[in-house]
Structure 1
Amino acid sequence: RFMHAQLTDGGGVLSPGGLELLHAPSVANHPGVAANALGYWINAVWGYPTLEHGGSIFGFLSNLVLVPELELGVFVSTNAPTGNRLTAQLPQRIVGQFFSAGREWPEPDIGTDLSDFVGLYRGQRRGHRTVDKLMAFRSGDLQVAANDQGFLTLGSGAQTQRFVALGDDLFFDPDLSEFIAFSRDSRGHVTVLHGAYGHNNFDRLARWQTVEFVHHVLMALAALSAWWLFALAFTRGARRRETRSGLVARYASFGLLLAWAATVWLLNQDMLQTPSPTAIQFAHFPTGQGQQWILASWLGTALSALMLILLVPVWRGGQWGLGRRLIFSALTLTSALFVGLLAYWNVLGAPTLG
C-alpha cells in the first residue's frame, strides 16, 4: 500500500503537491550521479528514473525501489548480512528482465586510459578532527583500479564493482545500473569520487594519508629501533669519554623506544581491537587505557623533539662513530615523521569527540 500510494496519488495521505515535493531533487553532489530527494535517492535503472531507499540494522538489509514511469515498486528485505548483493541487484534484474528491450549500454574500450582515476579513496562521512578518524584502520579505503578488459573497478573488502567509461569523468555499472563520477581540481587532477548515491563522496588520498603508509613507517621504526639497540650493545664508541649530549641522546632514545612501543600496543588494544566501537564509546573517550596511550604518545613526541635538538651536538661532537650517528639520525627523523602521522590521525590533538 505504501508503494502504491507513492506511485499514484498519495493514497489519501499526501496531496499531489506534497508527493511532488517529496520526490523532487533537493541535493546533488554531481549532475551525473544520483540526487537526494526527501527520504529518497533519485537514481536510474536501465535508463528509467527511480526513487530508492535502502538501509540495514542488526543483520537485516532492505531496499525499496520505485520506478514511477513503469508504475513499479520493488521491496527486498533479507535477514542475513550477506544479502546486500540480493537487495541491490534484484530490483535491477527485475527491470532488466521485463522492461529493458531496446536499452543497451556501451561496452568497455580496452584502449581507454583510466590511470587518472586509479588510487585509494576515503569516504567524506568520517571523523576529520576527532579520534574516530582511526576507524579507517578498521573499515578500509576504497580501491579504484583498471583491469585488462577496459573496466574501472571499485573494491572495498571482498566486494568489487566494475564500471564502463561514458566520458566526461562519468562511469556506469552495467551489473547494478549505477553511475559514479569524478571531480578534478584546477590543475586537472582527480580529487573526488562521487558515489552512486548523493550522500557518498570519497576523497582521493595522497600516499602518506593511507593506512598502508602508517604500517610502512611503523615497520621502518621497528627496524631502526632494533638496529640502534644492536649498535649500542655491540659496537664500541669513540676512544674518548662520551660527552653529556651523547649520554642524553642515548637515554632519550631508550625512552623514545619505550614510549612508541607503549603507544602502539595500548592504542591497538584500546581502539583497533574493540569488537564494535560506537559513537557512544567515542563520546565517553578517553577510557583509562586511552589516557595511557595519549600520555605515551605525548612523551614520545617530547622525546622526538629532544632528539631532533640533539642531532647537532651529536654530529659536531664526534664521540660516536659514523655508523652510530647515521642510525641515530635515521631513527630520529623517522620518529619525527611518526609524530606527524599521529597528529594527522588525531591521536595527539583531538582525543575526544568534543
Structure 2
Amino acid sequence: MRRSPSRRRFLAGTGAACTAALAGPPVSPSDASPSTATNEQLGSDVERRLDEAVEASLAEHDVPGASVAVVSDGSPPLAKGYGVADRETEAPVDPEETAFRIGSVSKPVVATALMDRIERDEIDPDADVSRRLDVPIDASEDEPVTLTDLVTHRGGFESTNRGMWIPDEDDLRPLESYLRNDPQKRVRAPGRIGSYANFGYALAGQVLAAHADEPFHRAIDESLLRPAGMADSSFRQPLPDSMAEAHATGYGSTGTYRDGEFPLLGLRPAGSMSATASDMGRFLELQLNGGELDGEQVLEPGAIDAMHERWATHHDRLPGMAFGLIEKSHGDVRTLWHNGATLSFYSHLVLVPEYDFGLFVSFNAPAGSAAATDVVDELLDEVLPAPETASLTPDGPPARADEIAGTYRSVQRSHTWHDRATSALNAATIDVRFDEDGALVTEQGAATERWVEIEPLVFERTDGSRRIAFGEEGGEVRYLFHGGSPTALARVDGLDRLSVHGVLAVGTVLGAMLALVGWPAAALYRWLRRDGDSGFPGWRTAVTGDVVRAKLLAAGSFSVLFASVVSIVVHFLATPLMVLSDPPATFQLLFVGTGLGAAGTIATTGVAGYSWTSERWDPFERIQYALVAGSLLAGCWLLWYWNLLLPPGVT
C-alpha cells in the first residue's frame, strides 16, 4: 500500500569527463542503415526524424554504432540498431542481441527496483540506511543518511574515483568489500546540498541487496530485470558469455574493448549495466505504463507515479530530482532524464510522461555525448511543442549584487582521495558578474549568458529558457543552483582559489631554482674567481661548514620532492585507471619520497630559524635560505592540499 509522501521528500535539499572517441573511418550512410526489432511502427514522422537524426549524428561525430529504443503514444516499443557494433568485423548493431554498456543510466533502473520495494512497504526511504547495511557510513544519529538522500544525490559524500574502474577482473572484489573497506567521506550534512555521487548510489544498491539477502546483481535481476522480461540485460561482472560475445565493442581513448572486456566497476549499482535496445524499450514502457508490461502488473501499483514525483529540489522555482531521474523543463513541459558515460560508451534516457514519450540512445564511443544531444533534441522538438521565447530586460542591479558576484565551482569533487586535483580541474566552474544595466552574467569557459532577477536570488535567462538560483548559508550567499542538475556549485574563496595555488606553485619553482641552480652556480662562480687563491678549501672541508650543509639539506629536500612527484605523475599516466580507483603497492611506495621530502622541509625550516642566531651566516645568506625554506613549505602545503603528500587514503 502506498504511503503518503513525507515532508522531507519534498523539502530535502531546498535552499558529471568523457574522453574523446578514437579516430576511425567515418560511418557511411549505408553503414548506418537501421536494423529494426519490431514490425509495429511509431508515427511515421517520429521514426523518420529518428532515422535522420541518428544517421547524421553517427557520421558527424564519427561514432561506429548506436542502439535506440522509442516509445510514443502508447505504441509498442520500437528498438533499432544503427551502424556497426565493431569496426573490424563490420557486424551491424542488432537491437535484439547487441548489448551496450549504459553507464549511469543504470541508476534509474536501480531506483525503479527500490521504489517497488518502497511501495510494498518493505523499505523505508526515510530510515537511517546505516541500520540496514553492515558497512561503515560517515554519519551521525543527529544527521542520518537516508535512502532518499542517496537516490537524490544528497548524501553529502565526496565524489572520487575510488573503487570505480577495475581493469582486471581478477582484482574485482564484492560490492560490500568496496563499501566496507574503501568508504568515501561525508563532507557536508545530508539532505541539503546536492552533489552527484556514485558511492551514494552504490550504498543505495546495497540496500536492495541487503533486503534480498543476495549479492547485488542477483537482487536486481530477481526484483526487476527478470520480471520485466529484460533477459539480455545484466549488472553481472564479468558479463555472461552469451552477452559478452554479442556485446558492442567500445572505442575510447584508453583502448578498444571487445567481447565485454572493458574496465569493470567496483561500485556496481552506479553504472555496470549492459542492455540491448529491445530490453531498454521494455524499461521505457514500464516507466510510461504504470509498471505494467504485456498486460501484467510487474511493479506495485503506484510505484511509477511515486518515482516520477519530485523528491528534492534546491529551490521551488527550479527543476529538481525525481526518484532516480532528473527533472528538466522543455518549455512548459516537464521531462525526466538520466545520462551515462563510461570510458567507451555514452547513453541517454529521457521520459516525457505527459506526452507518453520515452527515448533511449546509446553509442559505443564517448563522442556519443554530442551525438546523443543532437538526437534527443531532434526528437523532443518533433514530439513536444516549441518552447515559448521571451525577451527579459533587467531593471537595475539586484540589491545583493555584491554578495552574489564571484566564482563558483561544482561541489562534485574529491576531498580526501589522491584524485583531488583532477576532480577540481575538471569541475564545472562559473564566474558571476553584473553588467552596467544590472543583468547577471555567467561565464563558463567560452560560454557567456545573461540573466535577469525575477525574485530575490532567482534569475531567468533573458530568452526565458532556463533559471538559476543562489543559496545562502550562515546568512551569506554561498551556492549557485542550476535547474536540471543535481549538483550545486559553491563559492570559491581564500585558499581554495586556483589562482592562489598558482602563485604558491610559482614560488616553489623559484625557490627550487635558487637551491638547485642558483647556489651551485654561485659556488662555481666563486671558485672560478678565486684568482689562484691556494687556500680555497676542498670539497671535504666545504661540506663541513654549517651554511654549505644547510644548503645541501634544502637542495636535497627539493630533489626528493620533485623526483617523487614526477614518479607519481609518470605512474599515473602509465596506469591511470588502476591509480585512480585502486592504487597498487608500487604507486603507494612512491609516497616514501614525498614523506622524506616533507621531513627534509621541516629540518630546513628549523635551520632557517637557527641561521638568524648564528654568527656564521651573513644577512644575505639568511634571507636566501628563509626564502628557500618558505618555498619548500609552500610546495609541501600544495602536495598536502591535493592529497599527494601521504599515501592514498591517509589524511
For the pair 1:225 / 2:526, whether they are aligned, the reply is no
Equivalence for 1:6: 287
The CA deviation string for residues 223-271 of structure 1, in whole angstroms up to 9 with x for no partner, is 22223442454266xxxx9996434422211212212221321122123
CA contact (8 A) 2:342 2:366 kept: no
SS at match of 2:419: helix
CA contact (8 A) 1:46 1:95 kept: no
Equivalence for 1:330: 627
2:303 is aligned, of 9, 18, 30, to: 18
For the pair 1:46 / 2:331, whether they are aligned, the reply is yes
Comparing 220-229 with 331-340, greater Cα deviation is found at: 220-229
Structure 2: distance between partners of 1:170 and 1:93: 30
Deviation at 1:138, TM superposition (A): 5.7
Structure 1: distance between partners of 2:368 and 2:587: 37
Deviation at 1:311, TM superposition (A): 2.1
Structure 1: distance between partners of 2:408 and 2:638: 18
Amino acid at match of 2:570: Q
Equivalence for 2:80: none
Deviation at 1:146, TM superposition (A): 4.6
Equivalence for 2:495: 208
Equivalence for 2:612: 315
The sequence identity of aligned pairs, in percent, is 20
Amino acid at match of 1:155: Q
Deviation at 1:75, TM superposition (A): 4.0
Structure 2: distance between partners of 1:219 and 1:165: 40
Q: Which structure 2 residues correspond to residues 1-354 of structure 1 after superposition, within 5 A?
A: 1=77, 2=282, 3-11=284-292, 12-85=297-370, 87-88=372-373, 91=376, 99-100=385-386, 103-107=388-392, 109=394, 112=397, 116-124=404-412, 126-136=413-423, 139=426, 141-146=428-433, 150=439, 152-155=441-444, 160=447, 162=449, 164-166=451-453, 167-172=455-460, 177-188=465-476, 190-228=477-515, 229-231=517-519, 233-234=521-522, 245-271=546-572, 273-274=573-574, 277-278=576-577, 280-292=578-590, 294-349=591-646, 351-352=648-649
Q: TM-score, normalised by structure 1?
A: 0.78
CA contact (8 A) 1:23 1:37 kept: yes
- Gapped runs of 5+ residues in structure 2? 1-76, 78-281, 527-540
Amino acid at match of 2:352: V
Amino acid at match of 1:46: G
User: Whose Rg is larger?
Assistant: 2
The CA deviation string for residues 65-115 of structure 1, in whole angstroms up to 9 with x for no partner, is 2223333434444455334345346555665675246x3445354964766
Deviation at 1:314, TM superposition (A): 0.9
Structure 2: distance between partners of 1:304 and 1:352: 22
Structure 1: distance between partners of 2:519 and 2:346: 57
CA contact (8 A) 1:283 1:352 kept: no
Deviation at 1:172, TM superposition (A): 4.6
CA contact (8 A) 2:339 2:348 kept: yes
Amino acid at match of 1:302: A
Structure 2: distance between partners of 1:314 and 1:66: 70
Deviation at 1:290, TM superposition (A): 3.9
Equivalence for 2:209: none
Deviation at 1:336, TM superposition (A): 1.1
Cα 1:284–1:18 shift into 2, 3 Å: closer
Amino acid at match of 2:611: V
Structure 1: distance between partners of 2:396 and 2:344: 42
CA contact (8 A) 2:406 2:491 kept: no
Structure 1: distance between partners of 2:395 and 2:601: 50
Structure 1: distance between partners of 2:333 and 2:588: 51
Structure 1: distance between partners of 2:311 and 2:299: 18
Higher strand residue share: 1
Higher helix residue share: 1
Deviation at 1:326, TM superposition (A): 1.6
Amino acid at match of 1:255: G
CA contact (8 A) 1:192 1:203 kept: yes
Equivalence for 2:116: none
Amino acid at match of 2:565: V
Task: Name the Cα RMSD after superposition.
Answer: 3.8
Comparing 47-56 with 327-336, greater Cα deviation is found at: 47-56
Structure 1: distance between partners of 2:502 and 2:495: 11
Comparing 334-343 with 66-75, greater Cα deviation is found at: 66-75
Structure 2: distance between partners of 1:13 and 1:117: 51
CA contact (8 A) 1:46 1:92 kept: no
Structure 2: distance between partners of 1:218 and 1:267: 17
CA contact (8 A) 2:392 2:464 kept: no
SS at match of 2:302: helix
Cα 1:8–1:122 shift into 2, 3 Å: closer
Amino acid at match of 1:351: P
Deviation at 1:286, TM superposition (A): 4.3
CA contact (8 A) 2:558 2:632 kept: no
CA contact (8 A) 2:290 2:302 kept: no
Cα 1:203–1:220 shift into 2, 3 Å: same
CA contact (8 A) 1:286 1:352 kept: no
Structure 1: distance between partners of 2:588 and 2:427: 22
Amino acid at match of 1:6: Q
Deviation at 1:121, TM superposition (A): 0.8
CA contact (8 A) 2:408 2:480 kept: no
- Gapped runs of 5+ residues in structure 1? none
Structure 1: distance between partners of 2:582 and 2:378: 45
SS at match of 1:346: coil
CA contact (8 A) 1:119 1:145 kept: yes
Structure 1: distance between partners of 2:569 and 2:371: 35
